[in-house]
Amino acid sequence: MGFFGWIAGDDEPPERWDLRRRGWELCCGIDGCRAECRHVLICDTRRLSPAGRLRLAEADRPAWRLIMLGVEQPHERASLLSLGCAEALSAETGLQELHARTQRITDMFGMLPRWRDLGALTLDLFHRDARRGSRWLGLHPREFGLLWRLADAPGERVTRKQLLSDVWRLSHDPETNSVEVHVSRLRSKLAGAGCSDLIQTVPEGGYRLADSRPELLAHRLPQADALDTCLRELGWADAVAN
């Protein structure tokens, strides 16, 4: 089993949606914030309007974490799924079905590492961006690709040829300075997030990630993200944080 979050106007899920009865553990976020939650979030949306449900999904895009309950209209369920929600289900959904669907989603996303922690940064493969706390760096896809590729082997040299092959998908050297330009832009954005020394140039050629010691993660303070902001505006933050 695993962890799940509960998002609603009430503190506790009702018995028919309480996955703790099937061996799951309930997570209430980190200091009440959902930004660092890396598991499904089950949402009782019966009290929300269609616009409210849409807003909730938009706040967590791509919203694979969200299992929306209480969505009765097929066209609305289709819209929420198109936004990336993990599931959109009617209020008639019982515990057995909810358990099966949640387990399937958890297993599926467990096959692919969505996040990587680099010191104070979190890399998000779905967003194809990195953030420090609640602040996104706004990386270009290739800037993100560079950072993710370097994170494949922290501390090890990655040559220009390897970057062209793995990030640019090129089997030849185009004899341009595209790699250097993207590294420079990436370093500028990292510097703005207080991580200016994360990427090092190797004297023999290529780049590597500096030592991002695990203990640095302990200094990351939980911060609210767009979903947390949305929950506060809905008046649900207090219930979620309890």
Pair 86, 61 in one domain: yes
Count H helices and E strands in the chain, helices first: 8, 11
- Where in the sequence is the domain holding 166, given as residue range(s)? 120-212
pLDDT of residue 66: 95
pLDDT tens digits for range 163-174: 999 999 998 888
What is the CATH number for 49?
3.40.50
What region, left, alpha or beta, does residue 29 occupy, with left being phi > 0 and alpha being psi -120 to 50 degrees?
A: left
Model pTM score: 0.70
pLDDT of residue 214: 40
**Residue 217 falls inside a structural domain:** no
pLDDT of residue 146: 96
Share of the chain above pLDDT 90, in %: 58
CA separation for the pair 242, 232 (Å, rounded)? 13
Tokens of 23: 């061996």
Pair 41, 7 in one domain: yes
**Residue 218 falls inside a structural domain:** no
pLDDT band at 26 (very low <50, low <70, confident <90, very high): very high
Average pLDDT, the chain: 87
Q: Which residue has the higher pLDDT, 202 or 213?
A: 202
221, pLDDT greater than 70: no
Pair 175, 194 in one domain: yes
Q: Which residue has the higher pLDDT, 117 or 142?
A: 142
pLDDT band at 1 (very low <50, low <70, confident <90, very high): confident
98, pLDDT greater than 90: yes
pLDDT of residue 224: 62
Pair 237, 191 in one domain: no
Residue 220: CB atoms within 10 Å: 16
CA separation for the pair 148, 130 (Å, rounded)? 10
Angle at 47 between CA 228 and CA 51, to 5 degrees: 70
What is the CATH number for 161?
1.10.10.10
**Residue 27 falls inside a structural domain:** yes
